[in-house]
Amino acid sequence: MDKFRMMFQFLQSNQESFMNGICGIMALASAQLYSAFEFNCPCLPEYNYAYGIGILIVPPIWFFLLGFVLNNNVSMLAEEWRRPTGQRRKDPAVLRYMFCSITQRSLIAPVVWISVTLMDGKSFLCAFSVNLDLRLFGNGSTPDLAKADLVRLLAKIPCKDVFDGEQVVSREAASRYLRCISQACGWTFLLLTTLVAFMVRAIRPCFTQAVFLKTKYWSHYVDIERKMFEETCTEHAKSFARICIQRYFESVGGEIQDFHGQHFHRKDKSEDEGEKTKGDEDKLLGIRAQDDMNKVLWNWHTCKPPLNIKKEDFSSNGTININGFSNNLQKSDPPKKEWAVYYSKV
Amino acid sequence: MDRLKLVLQYFQSNSESISNGICVILALISVKLYTSFDFNCPCIPQYNKLYALGVMFVPPVILFFLGVIINRHTGVMMEEWVRPIGKRTKNPAVVKYLCSAMMQRSLLAPMVWVLVTLLDGKCFICAFSMSVDPRHFTGIPNNTGMDLVRLMAKVPCKEDAVFHNSTFRKAVTRYVRCYSQAIGWSILLFLILLGAISRVVKPCFDHATFLQTRYWSNYLDIEQKLFDETCVLHAREFARKCVHQFFQSMQEDMQLRLQLPPPHCHPSHRDEECEDEDHLHGITRDEQVDRVLHTWYSCRPELDVTKTAHQPKVCITWEDHNGRTLFSDV
């Protein structure tokens, strides 16, 4: 029981909590990056808007793409999407589920950057200071400035040390006002994002729970199957290499090996070696040539096997067997005589 | 039995204490968020109240929804509420219990935000500085040429040129902050009293039903966790067998190369294979898996495991033609 608990935790939590951890780290990195970044408004009418809005929009896009790059499941999604159908049909719902979960995790860091930028207010101030309504902030007497001069003055509002129009407009009041609007936008943005997440998370069970269980299972299965395949290939390669090298050494010094084997014959040691060789042979799974192995790897992509591992297919097929019972088993009915199947090895 | 008890305790306490822990972490996050947020009163008559009340009430709504999203019981509750009846009747009391537990936990972080805001006082000052009667305070600057409302609206902004180092501003600020803190402490006292009274009085009302609903809501949580766990283990075995079968199918001339099985299987290997079979539960095709998952949702099984719990063990005995026992499971 405990072993299964730990195994389950390792299986489940390793993948998901790893992804959640990366997601959290990226969110913290985006907040830290903003505070470390030295915001530097150009204070020129032509460039303020571009700079302010650029700082608001471009780093989130960069974080979003980075989330895709760091996520391991992206290559799994691409593989499942592009593979030929083979013997296993493709389920678009599973692909959609995988894509949605990857996208959700990648969206967290951009949302954090946008909210922090809006709460701080500097980019808003930089972008919209030229659009300020002077009637609210004019200091009583407004000398007749040309429009271009006025615009240039307003553009200098974000820069405390460059601003020189205190008689025309109060810089403090204007920047306070713009920051207030920026913070209101930030809170509204956060509220909308939270509401959308709430709809997706809490209301979804009302609609598609049965389908959701299915797609969650199969997307997890695709991930595990890929890992198992890689593990099996690695074990096979190891056994293949070991036996290959053993055969090579045997072919070079064959007589000496046998001689040694006969002289230093000890019961437990020979049994161990015998079992080890047998284990290796088992691990080879019958694939003993380079061409066979190439064919295995090629067919794994171009013609995936069907999802069916029922035992009846084995005995009826005749060509495939796992434990060799087709060599010495009488014709028996598999579902009823399962116990007999196991004991026939005795 | 002991191990099972330990496992159950771990499941039960783990789920509740995890929810409590997350709830407390969210409350701490709300405090940190408030202290790092740069409160920026606009000091303009039309916008002061809007901004301040917005800062006091919009983040609690966000924190409440975040609390609901993060809570595990939300999913359990929604699933139990929405599922078709199948073979298991629905108990509305359980859904209500889960809902109230989830609401209570989600309301902690918003209350913390509101209380911290009130005890700090900045929001109150920003919102209600214009409602203060300036005649109670001396030292009002009357050479600015601004009307009274605009002047009072600038009170929250200490760096403004109008109120440079003015005692009037400080007096008004202190007065409004005092009000704000009084309201904050009163709300806190009221909430604590409410919590204490409900804790004390609750066992007087229908305690037996409460024990039942609490048991069944914990059961639902554990059942969902175990179902997910079983699915994961099944997927693993399914994948392993599928990959194995794939490799087998790629073999050429298998009959010639295949070895005879060993005289007897290593006991541990047999156990492993039996364990694998257990994990598969006879579900070996994709349609079967789909059917399992669909039926789990649309037709939940009844809560009766008598058949499985008291299953007789099948024992096999091999005898030779004389009746002598060669091998026996007994």
Which one of B293, B315, B328 makes the best mutation probe of the A interface by having the most chain A beta carbons within 10 Å? B293
Q: Is the pLDDT of residue A181 over 90?
A: yes
Q: What is the pLDDT of residues B314-328, one digit of tens each?
A: 777 787 788 788 777
Helix (H, G, I), strand (E, B) or coil at B285: strand
Q: Which range (B248-257, B274-283, B313-322) has the least confidence?
A: B248-257
Measured CA to CA, the distance from residue B212 to residue B289 in angstroms comes to: 33
Smallest Cα distance from B205 to chain A, Å: 31
**CB-CB contact of B299 with B87 (8 Å):** yes
**pLDDT computed for residue B111 by the predictor:** 96
User: Do the chains contact at A221 and B239, CB–CB below 8 Å?
Assistant: yes
User: Do the chains contact at A210 and B248, CB–CB below 8 Å?
Assistant: no
E-strand ranges in B148-270 read none
Taking alpha carbons only, the member of A344, A118, A16, A79 closest to residue A225 is A79
- Would you give the end-to-end CA distance of chain A in angstroms? 30
Taking alpha carbons only, the member of A216, A73, A337 closest to residue B289 is A216
The residue with greater pLDDT, A255 or B216, is B216
State how far the alpha carbon of B109 is from the alpha carbons of B31, B114, B185, in Å. 9, 9, 17
Name chain A contacts of B235, Cβ cutoff 8 Å.
217, 220-221, 224
Q: How many CB atoms lie within 10 A of CB B66?
A: 20
Stretch A285-311: mean pLDDT: 76
Stretch B300-325: mean pLDDT: 69
Stretch B248-275: mean pLDDT: 49
Nearest to A232 among B66, B247, B289 (CB): B247
Residue B285 sits at φ, ψ, to 5 deg, of: -130, 160
- Range with the largest mean pLDDT of B7-21, B166-180, B302-316: B166-180
Q: What is the pLDDT of residues A28-41, one digit of tens each?
A: 999 999 989 998 89
Mean pLDDT (chain A, rounded): 76
Measured CA to CA, the distance from residue A297 to residue A280 in angstroms comes to: 20
Question: What would the DSSP string read from start to end of B118-179?
Answer: HHH-HHHHHHHGGGS-GGGSS-----S---HHHHHHTTT-TTSSTTTT-HHHHHHHHHHHHH
Q: Is the pLDDT of residue A128 over 50?
A: yes
Measured CA to CA, the distance from residue A18 to residue B84 in angstroms comes to: 35
Taking alpha carbons only, the member of B66, B75, B220, B217 closest to residue A213 is B75
Q: Which amino acid belongs to residue B301? A: P
**CB-CB contact of B113 with B59 (8 Å):** yes
What's the sign of the alpha-carbon dihedral A216, A217, A220, A226?
negative
The residue with greater pLDDT, B88 or A316, is B88
pLDDT-derived band at B148 (thresholds 50, 70, 90) equals confident
- What value of ipTM does the predicted structure carry? 0.75
Nearest to A201 among B44, B69, B241 (CB): B69
User: Do the chains contact at B232 and A198, CB–CB below 8 Å?
Assistant: no
Q: Is the pLDDT of residue A195 over 70?
A: yes
Q: What is the pLDDT of residues A211-268, one digit of tens each?
A: 888 888 888 888 888 888 888 888 877 877 777 777 777 766 654 444 444 444 444 4
**pLDDT computed for residue A164 by the predictor:** 81
Q: What is the pLDDT of residues B188-210, one digit of tens each?
A: 999 999 999 998 998 888 888 88
Mean pLDDT (chain B, rounded): 81
User: Do the chains contact at A173 and B44, CB–CB below 8 Å?
Assistant: yes
Taking alpha carbons only, the member of B242, B246, B236, B275 closest to residue A308 is B242
Which one of B242, B326, B330 makes the best mutation probe of the A interface by having the most chain A beta carbons within 10 Å? B242
Please report the number of interchain residue pairs, chain A to chain B, with beta-carbon separation below 8 angstroms.
209
Measured CA to CA, the distance from residue B306 to residue A322 in angstroms comes to: 36
**pLDDT computed for residue B59 by the predictor:** 95
Q: Is the pLDDT of residue B187 over 90?
A: yes
- Partner residues linked to B318 by β-bridges: B327
Nearest to A210 among B254, B257, B297 (CB): B297
pLDDT-derived band at B61 (thresholds 50, 70, 90) equals very high
> Does B143 contact A at CB distance below 8 Å?
no
Q: What is the pLDDT of residues B74-124, one digit of tens each?
A: 888 998 988 888 888 888 999 999 999 999 999 999 999 999 999 999 999
State how far the alpha carbon of A10 is from the alpha carbons of A17, B4, B46, in Å. 10, 20, 57
| Percent residues over pLDDT 70 in chain B | 81
Question: What would the DSSP string read from start to end of A193-230?
Answer: HHHHHHIIIIITHHHHHHHHHHHHHHHHHHHHHHHHHH
Measured CA to CA, the distance from residue A73 to residue A70 in angstroms comes to: 9
Measured CA to CA, the distance from residue B291 to residue A293 in angstroms comes to: 35
- Predicted TM-score (pTM) of this structure: 0.75
pLDDT-derived band at A275 (thresholds 50, 70, 90) equals low
Q: Which amino acid belongs to residue B253? A: D
**pLDDT computed for residue B280 by the predictor:** 65
**pLDDT computed for residue A316 by the predictor:** 38
Residues 6+ apart with CB under 8 A from A238: A283
Q: Which H helix or E strand runs over A116?
A: helix A108-120
User: Do the chains contact at B252 and A308, CB–CB below 8 Å?
Assistant: no
